[in-house]
C-alpha cells in the first residue's frame, strides 16, 4: 500500500505549474463521444480518473490514442457498446457523464447506477429526470440505468438543485436534440463553461454557459476538434494553501485567477498577501500571521466544497476561531477526526465545524478518506511538527498529479513509500 511520509516544518517556496482540471477533462472526454471523426484533448493531467475514463471509452469500443505529451485522441466511429459497467462506475462516479452523450448520439445508453460514496449519498435523479424531460425512456433495473430515445427533443427543464455533472450531462444530451433546450438553475462552475466552449467549437449552439440559464439549439452533428483543458482551480488553491499553512511563498503558473475569486478572498482574509496576473497567482505568507476564517461552501461562484478540507487544515494552525459549514455534501467532514489525531482543536456539530486554531500540531499516522480530505492531511503534515504518514493515497492520485514530486520541488520533505 502506497503512503506519503512527510517531515513537517519547511515553508513551501517556489513556482508550480498547474495542470488541466480533473473536473473539466472528464466531461470533455465524455463529449468526444459526440464527435464525427477524431477529436484531441490537450493539457490533460495524468490522473487515475483520466486512466479510468480511457478504460471506459475503450470498453465501449472507442479508439483512444495517447501521445508522449499525454494528448488524448479519440475516434468514436468504432464504438460497439453503450454500456458503462459497474466495475468502472464504482471506482469513478463521473462515469455517469457518458449517459447524456451516448444516448443523444446513439439512441441508447446503459450506465451502472452509482451508489453512495464517502462524501454523501450523491443521487443522480436530476440527470435522469432531465433526460426524461427531453423524451428519453429511462428504467432502472438490476443496478443499471437503461436509457433509450430515437432522438431527444428540446425541453425547458428546471434543475431542483444545482448539480455540476447533472448540468454537463444534460448539456451534452441537448446539443444533438431536436429543437431548443433551456436548462434553468444550471451549475455555473468554470468546468461547465469549459465544456460548453468545447461543444460550441465542435459546432454546437449553446449560449448562457456560466450563468444559471443555459440555452441550447440542437444541431444534427458535431465535428471533432482539438481542445485544451482549462487549469485546475482546486489544484491551484491547494498549492496556495500549502504556502499559507507553512508560512511560505508560492507562485502558481498556468492558473486561472478569475476562477478562484472567492477562494483568493478567503486567503486574503486569512492574512496572506495575494497577487495575480493574467495566468498566475502568487501567495506570500512569510512573516505574516495566519488567521482563522469562516467558510460556507456554496455552488460557484461561492466558496467551493472541494477547497473546504484544505481551509479546515489551515484554520487548525491559525490564530482565532473559524467556523466551517459544508452545505453541498452531507458527509464531507471525515478529515476532521484525522486532523484531531494530529492535535487539531475542532468541534463538529453535524455539517458545521468550529475550529480553534493551535500554534502547533504534531505529526501522526492518518488515513485519507476521499480526494480533498487527503489534500488537507498532506497540508497539515507539511506544517506539523515531526512525521506524518498519510495512508490510502490512491485518493490523492485521483486528483493531484505527482503530488510528492511537485511538493519536493517547493522544498517540502515528503516521499512516497510502498509498505
Alpha-helical regions (H) of 69-212: 86-89, 99-106, 125-133, 164-174, 190-201
Say whether residue 102 binds ligand EPU (CB under 6 A): no
* Interacting residues with ligand EPU between 12 and 31 (CB under 6 A): 22-23, 26
Is 230 an active-site residue? no
Residue 185 touches ligand EPU, criterion: CB under 6 A: no
- Smallest gap from Cβ 173 to ligand EPU, in A, equals 14
Q: Which of 15, 61, 65, 117 is catalytic?
A: 117
Sheet strands side by side (includes 387-391): 365-367, 387-391, 2-7, 413-418
User: What is d(CA 328, CA 288) in angstroms, rounded to the nearest whole number?
Assistant: 32
Q: How far is the CB of 131 from ligand EPU (least distance, A)?
A: 11
Residue pair 343/362 in contact (Cβ under 8 Å)? The answer is yes
Asked if 245 is part of the footprint of ligand EPU (rule: CB under 6 A), the reply reads: no
Q: Is 13 left (phi over 0), alpha (psi -120 to 50) or beta?
A: beta
Which residues, in sequence order, are CB contacts of 254 under 8 Å at separation 6+?
Answer: 17, 18, 231, 279, 280
Q: Which of 8, 11, 166, 242 binds ligand EPU (CB under 6 A)?
A: 166
Residue of 124, 206, 361, 390 that binds ligand EPU (CB under 6 A): 124
State the pairing for strand pair 38-42/387-391: unpaired
Smaller CB separation from ligand EPU, 126 or 342: 126
Q: Which three cell numbers stand for residue 339?
A: 486532523
Min dist CB 84 to ligand EPU, Å, is 14
- As a whole number of angstroms, the distance between CA 5 and CA 363 comes to 10
64 binds ligand EPU (CB under 6 A): no
Phi first, then psi: give them for residue 339, nearest 5 degrees. -65, -35
Nearest partner of 381 among 414, 417, 334, judged by Cα: 414
For 164, the grid coordinates are 455540476
Residue 328, annotated as binding a ligand: yes
How many residues touch ligand EPU under the rule CB under 6 A: the total is: 23
CA distance 181 to 100: 14
Which residue among 372, 382, 396, 401 contacts ligand EPU (CB under 6 A)? 372
> Does residue 123 belong to the site contacting ligand EPU (CB under 6 A)?
yes
Selected binder of ligand EPU within 282, 399, 407, 410 (CB under 6 A):
399
* Binding-site member from 55, 122, 341, 409 for ligand EPU (CB under 6 A): 122
What letter does residue 10 receive in the DSSP assignment?
A: P
Which residues form the interface with ligand EPU (CB under 6 A)? 22-23, 26, 94, 120, 122-127, 161, 163-166, 305-306, 328-329, 371-372, 399
Which amino acids are annotated catalytic?
Answer: 117
- Residues annotated within the binding site for UDP-N-acetyl-alpha-D-glucosamine are 93, 306, 328
Amino acid at each position: 500500500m502506497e503512503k506519503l511520509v512527510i517531515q513537517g516544518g519547511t515553508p513551501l517556496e517556489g513556482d508550480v505549474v498547474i495542470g488541466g482540471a480533473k473536473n473539466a477533462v472528464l466531461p470533455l472526454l465524455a463529449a468526444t463521444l459526440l464527435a464525427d471523426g477524431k477529436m484531441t484533448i490537450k493539457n490533460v493531467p495524468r490522473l487515475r480518473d483520466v486512466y479510468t475514463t480511457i478504460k471506459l471509452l475503450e470498453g465501449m469500443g472507442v479508439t483512444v490514442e495517447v501521445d508522449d505529451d499525454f494528448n488524448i485522441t479519440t475516434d468514436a466511429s468504432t464504438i460497439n457498446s453503450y454500456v458503462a459497467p459497474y466495475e468502472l462506475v464504482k471506482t469513478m462516479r463521473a462515469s455517469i457523464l457518458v449517459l447524456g452523450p451516448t444516448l443523444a448520439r446513439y439512441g441508447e445508453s446503459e450506465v451502472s447506477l452509482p451508489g453512495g460514496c464517502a462524501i454523501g449519498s450523491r443521487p443522480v435523479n436530476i440527470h435522469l429526470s432531465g433526460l426524461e424531460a427531453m423524451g428519453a425512456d429511462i428504467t432502472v433495473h438490476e443496478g443499471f440505468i437503461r436509457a433509450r430515445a430515437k432522438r431527444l427533443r428540446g425541453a425547458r427543464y428546471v434543475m431542483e438543485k444545482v448539480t455540476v455533472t447533472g448540468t454537463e450531462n444534460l448539456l451534452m444530451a441537448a446539443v444533438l436534440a431536436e429543437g431548443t433546450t433551456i436548462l434553468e438553475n444550471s451549475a455555473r462552475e468554470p468546468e461547465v463553461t469549459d465544456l460548453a466552449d468545447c461543444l460550441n467549437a465542435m459546432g454546437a449552439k449553446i449560449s448562457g454557459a456560466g450563468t444559471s440559464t443555459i440555452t441550447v439549439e440542437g444541431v444534427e452533428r458535431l465535428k471533432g476538434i482539438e481542445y485544451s483543458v482549462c487549469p485546475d482551480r482546486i489544484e491551484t488553491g491547494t498549492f496556495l494553501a500549502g504556502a499559507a499553512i507553512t508560512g511560505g511563498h508560492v507562485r502558481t503558473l498556468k492558473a486561472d485567477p478569475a476562477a478562484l475569486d472567492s477562494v483568493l478572498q478567503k486567503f486574503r482574509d486569512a492574512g496572506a498577501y495575494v497577487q495575480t496576473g493574467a495566468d498566475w497567482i502568487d501567495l506570500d505568507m512569510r512573516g505574516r500571521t495566519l488567521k482563522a476564517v469562516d467558510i460556507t461552501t456554496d455552488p460557484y461562484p461561492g466558496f467551493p466544497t472541494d477547497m473546504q478540507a484544505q481551509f479546515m487544515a489551515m484554520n487548525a494552525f491559525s490564530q482565532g476561531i473559524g467556523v466551517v459549514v459544508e452545505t453541498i455534501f452531507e458527509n464531507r467532514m471525515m478529515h476532521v477526526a484525522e486532523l484531531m489525531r494530529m492535535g487539531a482543536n475542532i468541534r463538529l456539530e453535524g455539517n458545521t465545524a468550529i475550529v480553534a486554531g493551535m500554534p502547533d500540531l504534531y505529526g501522526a499516522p492518518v488515513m485519507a478518506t476521499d480526494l480533498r480530505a487527503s489534500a488537507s492531511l498532506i497540508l497539515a503534515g507539511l506544517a506539523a511538527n515531526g512525521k506524518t504518514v498519510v495512508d490510502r493515497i490512491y485518493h490523492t492520485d485521483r486528483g493531484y498529479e505527482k503530488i510528492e514530486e511537485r511538493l519536493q520541488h517547493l522544498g517540502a520533505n515528503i516521499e512516497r513509500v510502498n509498505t
